[in-house]
Amino acid sequence: MDYLQGLNPSQRAAVEQIQGPVMIVAGAGSGKTRVITYRVAHLVKKGVDPFNILVLTFTNKAAKEMRERITKVVGPEAKNIWMGTFHSVFAKILRVEAEKIGYPRNFTIYDTDDSKSLLRAILKEMQLDDKLYNANFVYNRISSAKNNLISVAEYVQNEQIQAEDFSTGRGKLGEIYKIYTQRCFKAGAMDFDDLLFKTNVLLKDHPDVLYKYQNKFKYLMVDEYQDTNFSQYLIVKKLAAINENICVVGDDAQSIYAFRGANIQNILNFEKDYPDLKVFKLEQNYRSTQNIVNVANSIIANNKNQLKKTVYSENETGDKIKVTRAFSDNEEGKNVAEAILQERSLKGLNHQDFAILYRTNAQSRAMEEALRKLNIPYKIYGGLSFYQRKEIKDLIAYFRVTFNPNDEEALKRVINYPRRGIGDTTVERIIVAADANDLTFWEVICNAGKYIDSRSANQVGNFATLIQSFKVMTKTHSAYDAALHIAQHSGLLKDLYDDKSVEGLSRYENIQELLNGIKEFSEREDIEQKGLDVFMQDVALLTNDDNDKNPDADTVSLMTIHSSKGLEFPQVFIVGLEENLFPSQMSLSSRTDLEEERRLFYVAITRAEKKLHISYATSRYRWGTLTSCEPSRFIDEIDARYLELEYKEPQKPAGNPFFDNERSSWSASRSTDTFSKPKVGSIPKTTSILPKAHVPTPGFAPSDTSNLQVGMEVEHERFGFGKVISLEGSKPDIKATIFFKEIGQKQLLLKFAKLRIVT
């Protein structure tokens, strides 16, 4: 029983309760994995046959780690425990029982790519518009139906579902679902969702099979129960119905996968299914400092729909949580990169001790660029570098072709994307013609009628005209206007917009973020050359050598918060804490969605061990328009006692007329380091929200600044109101030094500054 000695009282009580229904509510960093593994080991030590134990997890990694730990306690017998992911365990059962539902035992399992490939073939055969019936969208629709145990028959007979499909112009979805199901069955194949869907069918239609496995699995344990969907819930409930020796482990405060079908009600209502339930709460956090735990508690306390618990830490008190305000997302990235440099220098940390977490993939752009500029190595965790994402490379390929039509690789990438009737056969003919006539790929395209059949030549000629029109556009318009025009008229933007899947939305947001970056570039006042070709040069330098050649290298981790679940880092930066970004705009229509966003923030906070940094920007570009941003409501929900502001008042320049004649805009209660008299509870609005981004005067229009003089008051669209301190240089390159009320001193080149003279 030595393995029990290292457990705290709550952990030990949960491990030793092996009979009857049990729910273990495990707070972040509370030793959940240890409790699960020791509980299974304890069952074996108490004489339970390992063959009668079923342990279900959500990842193979978790199952492997648990089995290794159990083996150390009970020895080789651990191999006999049924342990694995939901899909792997029930695939194993289906291999034995598949013939009862008409499938061969050696049925094929289609992965996501297989399923989408089959759907694309079906859509093509049905001659459906691939914009309206996008394969990704259709796949997600069918997947959602299966996870909610909606069969083909139920789908086509459900009036609400049919009404929804017809209202979006997709009335054929039910027919596609039917054909897809028939084709899978005919091929002796199940897709990933079928492994759960068909298990439910098997247990419902064959009571003898259900009874067999109810008696086999006398003890069930389910990890991360808050992430189960309806299909998983029903399987577990059926299997546990006779013995009721079921133990679920999870944390409702970390339920963040509703978009995948996870239903938080499964854990919140678990007691309704088992009135004799025994609940154990693991509330001691071993991971984080007291301040980080207190911040997490003050956030999650705002959720009404939750299982109450009080997580605490006996670790060191730790640093207060830093809240940093930046003017823009680029400045936010710069602040984060500089903070990492400083923390490494002061504390001797490695790059791998830092993680940057964000709500959406698109936010990685500003972080990546800032890290690169300071030569800080990083790795995108669970995803690609911003500039390596397919949709970004697709649009950049259009830019490349626009400036260099002889770029054959870029031409091949975009000539038929989005689809314009130029297939692989036509592309091969272009290549052959170019080689045979000693021409470039582009020269053949421009003279398509001479080298390929007339039917294909028309489409190829239209493509050449399109690229030539883009080239003309870049000569007369700004980098942003040209880029937006190319994104729209190439059809790329519409193609991404029409994909309503979660992945499609993310890709669309990434294109928006690239265009935002180009907009910022085109409005920079420290450079004269602002064409799209100059931006492309910068991008080429950023994307060079972007491959991860050494996965074990010492790098800063960048990832979405969803990807960070289950991980931990000594120092964590949570960026983009702004309304409509985090919480996301789509979450603000219902309490259910907003509470999931708050749980997501809770997960982000609890990834930090020693130090937590939070930041937000007061302005971001959205589709080329500089938009004022409000700090996230989540910042106001944090108890002020645990926060430290990182925004410092600007120093008074010698003889500055602005400071001589105007009062500082910051209230005395805003200290340069911490709140002067913090109150328990939410931060008061007058002290919690730092100076906001400037909102331009209605009808803002730049003035003629040829006669600008020292002492004049001016307004800048981004920097706000200020006074001219000095002027230097000669026309047309006069530089003005201006002290802005909100951000301090700036030097601007007048011909690019776009100032409005106030007085």
For the stretch 92-110, pLDDT in tens is 899 889 899 998 887 877 8
337 is in an annotated binding site: no
26 is in an annotated binding site: yes
Average pLDDT, the chain: 84
For 312-385+546-645, CATH number? Answer: 3.40.50.300
Q: What are 736-744's contacts with CB under 8 Å, separation 24+?
A: 736/705, 736/708, 738/714, 739/653, 739/656, 739/658, 739/659, 740/716, 741/658, 741/662, 741/665, 742/665, 742/691, 742/694, 743/327, 743/650, 743/719, 744/650, 744/651
Q: What is the pTM of this model?
A: 0.70
Q: How many residues does the chain have?
A: 759
Question: pLDDT at position 137, please?
Answer: 87
29 is in an annotated binding site: yes
Same CATH topology for 9-99+198-282 and 108-187? no
Please determine, for residue 663, whether its predicted confidence score (pLDDT) is greater than 50: no
Domain 692-758 has CATH 2.40.10: yes
Question: pLDDT at position 419, please?
Answer: 86
* E strands present in 505-641: 556-560, 569-574, 608-617, 619-622, 625-628
**What is the domain class of 9-99+198-282 according to CATH?**
alpha beta
76 or 540: whose pLDDT is higher?
76
645 or 153: whose pLDDT is higher?
153
Question: pLDDT at position 534, please?
Answer: 74
What mean pLDDT do residues 143-161 have? 91
Which overall architecture, per CATH, does domain 108-187 show? Orthogonal Bundle (1.10)
What mean pLDDT do residues 498-510 have? 80
Residue 236 CA from chain centroid, whole number: 30
Q: Could you please state the CATH topology (level 3) that the domain comprising 389-525 is classified under.
A: PCRA; domain 4 (1.10.486)
308 is in an annotated binding site: no
Confidence bin at 664 (pLDDT 50/70/90) = very low
Please determine, for residue 650, whether its predicted confidence score (pLDDT) is greater than 60: no
What mean pLDDT do residues 206-217 have? 94
Question: pLDDT at position 752, please?
Answer: 78
258 is in an annotated binding site: no
Please determine, for residue 229, whether its predicted confidence score (pLDDT) is greater than 80: yes
What mean pLDDT do residues 244-255 have? 93
For the stretch 261-279, pLDDT in tens is 889 999 999 999 999 999 9
Going from N- to C-terminal start, the domains of the chain cover: 9-99+198-282, 108-187, 312-385+546-645, 389-525, 692-758
Please determine, for residue 521, whether its predicted confidence score (pLDDT) is greater than 50: yes
Whole-number percent of the chain with pLDDT over 90: 41
Question: pLDDT at position 548, please?
Answer: 47
What mean pLDDT do residues 413-433 have? 87
669 is in an annotated binding site: no
Closest CA to 118 of 175, 198, 176: 176
Confidence bin at 357 (pLDDT 50/70/90) = very high
For the stretch 332-342, pLDDT in tens is 999 999 999 99
Please determine, for residue 287, whether its predicted confidence score (pLDDT) is greater than 90: yes
Confidence bin at 648 (pLDDT 50/70/90) = very low
Confidence bin at 582 (pLDDT 50/70/90) = very high
Please determine, for residue 666, whether its predicted confidence score (pLDDT) is greater than 50: no
Active-site positions read 32-33, 223-224, 254, 607
What mean pLDDT do residues 501-521 have? 82
Handedness of CA 93, 98, 103, 107 (dihedral sign): positive
For the stretch 47-68, pLDDT in tens is 999 999 999 998 888 888 888 8
What mean pLDDT do residues 27-40 have? 91
Query: What gap in Å lies between CA 640 and CA 295, rounded to an integer?
Result: 9
Please determine, for residue 698, whether its predicted confidence score (pLDDT) is greater than 90: no
Please determine, for residue 670, whether its predicted confidence score (pLDDT) is greater than 80: no
Confidence bin at 542 (pLDDT 50/70/90) = low
